[in-house]
Amino acid sequence: MKRPIFFIYFASMSLAGFAQPMMLKSKAADIVVKANGKPTKLVVKPKGEQQAIFEAKMHLPVALQPNMISSVNAIGKSFLGTPYVYFTLDSNHRAKTRLKPMSKEVLVVNLKQLDCVTFVENTVALAQTRLDKNNSFENYKKKLQEIRYRKGVVDYAARHHYFTDWMFEQAQKGLLKDITQDLGGEPYQKTVTIMTYKKDTAYGNMADPKTFETIRQVEDAINKRPHFYIPEAKIPALENKLLDGDIVAITTHEKRIEIAHVGFIVKRNGRAHLMHASSVKKQVMITEEPMADYLMKNKGQSGVMIARLQ
């Protein structure tokens, strides 16, 4: 008996490059997931491809007493090998000329292609859903929406475009705690203005005056908050204080922007490695070298902020 063939349309673009919308075929009522590093076939009912992947994540084995950390670890590692794609949420950033605003903002669900931020967002939303009594696909989308957008409002201006703002909002909801200062972090003096500064050349939706003003106010709020970071040279001395599943926000020497990359801590032989969606390796991966060594090789990166899921 032939398996049904499903078609799904991805209008997926995000804040760092772009992929053309594509039509994908899937014979997948069988989804292969990774459990303890080994491929495991999980048969699910024929549904939309995104929902089939979601249901596979919900059936991943976790610790005997599942919690946020064990769920994040299991789900994050199940994404290993998933393709990295630039601009999975947007289509017109970094354009050479001013573009017309994009169509109305919609909640993008794309578990087949990830950038560094959507990898973190989706992993956390999936982990939340696993721990919820209601572990339906609709509840996952609701949690993703609440994580991605300020007050859960699906609007370009309400999306968390700056990761420190993302961390601040999740901390306000009790989802995580920024522990950077507790770990001995130093003041991080940065003024974020990249979106309003490049409104005519990089961010098409910023042409809308209301959107521009809203994001300008967000930038002002971010710039008034105290921020801390751990310089890259000091990371090895505190690796014993980092835990699996800690969220890493990598700071940058670049002007007008505060965070260059994000991911999760994975401990190996007592050292902290970075699990992330890599724009260089074009996939979700765990760094071969410890995170401290990884950072030292990237001259544009200055250190890290650390957030712990609650």
**286 belongs to a structural domain:** yes
**114 belongs to a structural domain:** yes
Q: Is pTM, for the whole model, over 0.85?
A: no
Domain that residue 220 falls in: 6-309
Is residue 218 within 8 A of residue 162, CB to CB? The reply is: yes
CB atoms within 10 A of CB 166: 24
**213 belongs to a structural domain:** yes
User: Residues of 80-98 as b/e, b for ≥16 C-beta within 10 angstroms?
Assistant: eebebbbbbbbbbbeeeee
**253 belongs to a structural domain:** yes
Which residue, among 154, 157, 156, has the nearest Cα to 141 in the 3D structure? 154
pLDDT digits (tens, 9 = 90+) for 42-55: 444 446 999 999 99
Record the tokens describing residue 295, joined without a space.
């950072």
**1 belongs to a structural domain:** no
- Quick one: how far is CA 263 from the chain centroid? 7
CA dist 119 → 46, 86, 113, 128 (Å): 25, 12, 9, 14
Any idea what the CATH number is for the domain that residue 264 is in? Answer: 1.10.3670.10
pLDDT digits (tens, 9 = 90+) for 131-188: 999 999 999 999 999 999 999 999 999 999 999 999 999 999 999 999 999 999 999 9
Which residue, among 119, 201, 217, has the nearest Cα to 165 in the 3D structure? 217
pLDDT digits (tens, 9 = 90+) for 7-45: 222 233 333 332 333 323 333 334 444 444 554 444 444
Is residue 115 within 8 A of residue 86, CB to CB? The reply is: yes
Count of structural domains within the chain: 1
